[in-house]
Every structure is written in structure tokens, then in C-alpha cells.
Copies of this chain bind each other. A is one copy, B any other.
Amino acid sequence: MTMRRREPAPVAHANTRVEGYRCVRAASEALAAPLSAEDCALQSMPDASPVKWHLAHTSWFFETFVLSPHARGYAPLDPTYRMLFNSYYNSVGDQYPRPERGMLSRPSLYDVLAYRAHVDAAMRELLANEVPTELLAVIALGLHHEQQHQELLLTDVKHLLARNPLRPQYTPGWPLTTVTPRHANWIAFEGGLDEIGHSGDAFSFDNEGPRHRAYVAAFKLASLPVTNGEYAAFIDDGGYHRPEFWLSAGWDEVQRQQWDAPLYWSRRDRQFRTFTLHGEAEIDPHAPVTHISYFEADAYARWVGARLPTEYEWELAARGVPQAGNFVESGALHPLALRDAAPSNIPAQMFGDVWEWTQSAYLPYPGYRVADGAIGEYNGKFMSGQMVLRGGSCVTPHSHIRETYRNFFPPAARWQFSGLRLALDG
């Protein structure tokens, strides 16, 4: 991938660069700290990867795209790693099969941490000197890439722990505070010819551009995401047993996987409970619903008589909204109910808490071109069969998100912190 523009290299001193690198890298290791070597080695499904793999692959990125080509005298720690921790870069060479990532007891977690240290030492040295602008852009990409994997590390280990009948906690629970329930209202947006996509000097992924003109008709957007309580009413109304609300492919999944509630939900004594990174908990009816597929989000919206927003509508509505919210740094690691009163004409919780499914397929923006070489495999080749989500979640690093950020997952995926916000024609 290539950045639309580059990091403002001139003002970045070596110290700043090193510190920025150190911060992001340390955050990954901090997320793995509560886990044992065994927790870090297992893979709960082909879509998820072992924690250990995330720690290694993010280092592989710097080794492969920065150090090996650009750091004089750099020697890889182990030549096998080039294949072992290559995720999907055909132009780099062979890849160890994704569904088998959980078959590797070696290298151990200890070995992987040593690999990280090896890469970090070389990176520190490289960053201490003059770095060409193009290479700084690749490093910036590597750090944003690592932040993506920080989020996946948490969603993947949650999926693993949730399968364990011992119901282990990732970390002890959070202090639940009482909240005054807020109710969503509709906020109207005028349509018109506008511009969509990233522009400017700051970092963005290539799939966020090019910025382009688009006509968007008038629409209304809910001021809040849909809550657990609202979603439970859909379940109680037979939502999972009434095909009229579902896309055909969604109804097939409901049958095939026997879905009857969001992922991780269970019912005990007529009370819904859910598995969280702090262990089992009652669901909070005022918190945003999460761990639902696109199909469930879409079915819920039809049940209400509304629809999902397009990603263009979402981006227009998010423009100018402060990017505050419940991100990974809060330590909640779960969506929370809105605590404070919010102005009724600005959508709340647009950032953090839950990724919001849009009704837009993940496709290239007009004028998008895939970059040459391995970096070109970063985003473009996944533009098929996936839907766009916007806004970040409770396990996204705060500095990672933007109003133009396009996340994407297949419509049946549920293990991400995915939720929804309703829209209506204007």
C-alpha cells in the first residue's frame, strides 16, 4: 500500500521516531503480558491466529519490508521465519498455511519475544540515523499494521478463551458504573454532491482514497448505536426464526450455524449473559450490542423498519465529530453504555465501542490503483465478498482510527467487536 501523502518527515526528529516506534511495539507486548505461553500458542479457528503469531508477524513486517532491504548488514534471526510468519504476501514467497498456525509449538513464545527484541534493536539503530522519506512511510505503515494486529490479538484470544469450559478471564473485571439511559433520536443530514475519502498529509491506508466526488441523497442517522436491550427485543420477537427479515445468505447462515443470539451470548434463567475479556457477565441493556454479523445487523434494521447507513453517509455524519470514545486504552475491553448526556444533533459513540456495519460492499474508490510490489497486497486484493465497517471499537488503539478509516469483514463474521447504527432515507 502507499500513503496518499507521507508523514511530515522534516519535523520528525530521530528521538521522536524512536519513541513512536517503541510505544506501538511495547503496546503489543503489554497486551500479551496477562497470557501464558500456552494461551499464546493456540488457534481457535482458521479466521483467528495465535497471539504468538501476531507478535511474530508484526515483527516480520519490519524485517521484510524495512530491515532486510534497507538496513545494511541486517541478518534475519531465523531464515525459516520469512515463510512462517508471512501472512499472505505472495510476492514475498511461500506462506505457512493459515489454518495451521496453531500447529506450531516452536518457535516458543520466548523465541518470539527474542525475535521481537532482535528486530527492535535493528530498528532502533536504523531510526537513530537519517531515514529516507519513502522508508519512513513504510515504517509508519508497519506501525499502523501493528495496531491492527493489536486489535486482532484481543479478538482472537477472546475467541479462544470463550471456547474453554473453565471460562478464563483475560484480565479481572472492570468497575461497572450506573448510567442514566440515553435514547437514540434521528439526526437529519442534507444530501448533495460532496467529497469522500482521505486527503491531507496525515497517515491513511491506501483504501481510504483517492478522495472523490459523490452524490449522497438526504438521510437520517440514529444518534446512538443499537443497544443490547433493543437487540434482545428483536430476539424475543422471534427475530432469529422469521426469514422475512433476513437476506437469503444470512438466513442460510442462521440455519447452518444455528444462530439465535449474538456470539458469546447465553441464556440462564431467562437472563442473557455474555462472555467478555473479564469473564462471564450479565449483559448491560444500555451498552451497544456487539459480536453480530452483517446479516444480523441488516435483519435487525429491517425488523425496525430502518436500514444500515452506507459508508458515505457514515463518513459525512462523522465529519467533525470529536474522535473521543471507549478505545483499548480505557481498559474496559468491552462496549459501554453512554455515561454522559450528549447533544441530540451530534451522533454519539461514532468512534470506539463497536465497529458499525455499513451497507457498503468493500470495493475500490473511483481512481484507486493498487501499488506495485508486496505493499500492494496490503488492502486491494481483499476487495471482494466483504462489507465495510466504520468507527473503531473498544479494542482499537485510539491513535489508529480516523473518520475515513475503512475496516472490512465478510458478512458472516462475528468475532470482531461489531455492532450497528440505524439509518433512514431522508
Contacts and interface: CB of A to CB of B under 8 A. Distances in A.
Nearest to A387: B384
Interface of A: 36-42, 44, 80, 83-84, 88, 90-91, 96, 100, 102-109, 160-161, 163-166, 168, 193, 212-215, 217, 243-244, 246-251, 294-295, 302, 310, 359-361, 363-364, 366-367, 370, 381-385, 411, 425
Given A36-B108, A411-B385, A425-B367, A42 B102 contact: yes
A382 B248 contact: yes
A39 B107 CA distance: 10
A68 B5 CA distance: 64
A162 to B, nearest CB: 10
A211 to B, nearest CB: 12
B366 A217 contact: yes
Given A108-B38, A164-B106, A168-B106, A367 B244 contact: no
Given A41-B38, A42-B41, A411 B384 contact: yes
Contact of A384 (B42, B90, B215, B250): B250
Contacts of A381: 246-248, 251
A165 B384 contact: no
Given A91-B243, A105-B160, A193-B215, 15 more contacts: A36-B37, A38-B105, A42-B103, A42-B105, A83-B165, A96-B165, A104-B166, A105-B164, A106-B164, A215-B215, A249-B382, A249-B384, A249-B385, A302-B370, A367-B425
Number of copies: 4
Contacts of A367: 217, 425
A90 B160 CA distance: 26
A381 B246 CA distance: 7
Nearest to A41: B38
A393 B364 CA distance: 27
Contacts of A359: 363-364
A106 B166 contact: yes
Nearest to A243: B90
A349 B55 CA distance: 49
Contacts of A302: 370
Nearest to A246: B381
A248 B408 CA distance: 14
Contact of A42 (B42, B247, B370): B42
A366 B90 contact: no
A95 B359 CA distance: 29
Contacts of A366: 217, 310, 425
Contacts of A294: 384
25 contacts: A37-B38, A41-B41, A41-B42, A42-B102, A44-B103, A80-B165, A90-B243, A91-B244, A96-B165, A100-B163, A103-B163, A103-B164, A105-B161, A106-B166, A107-B166, A193-B215, A217-B367, A247-B382, A247-B383, A248-B382, A248-B384, A250-B384, A251-B381, A359-B363, A367-B425
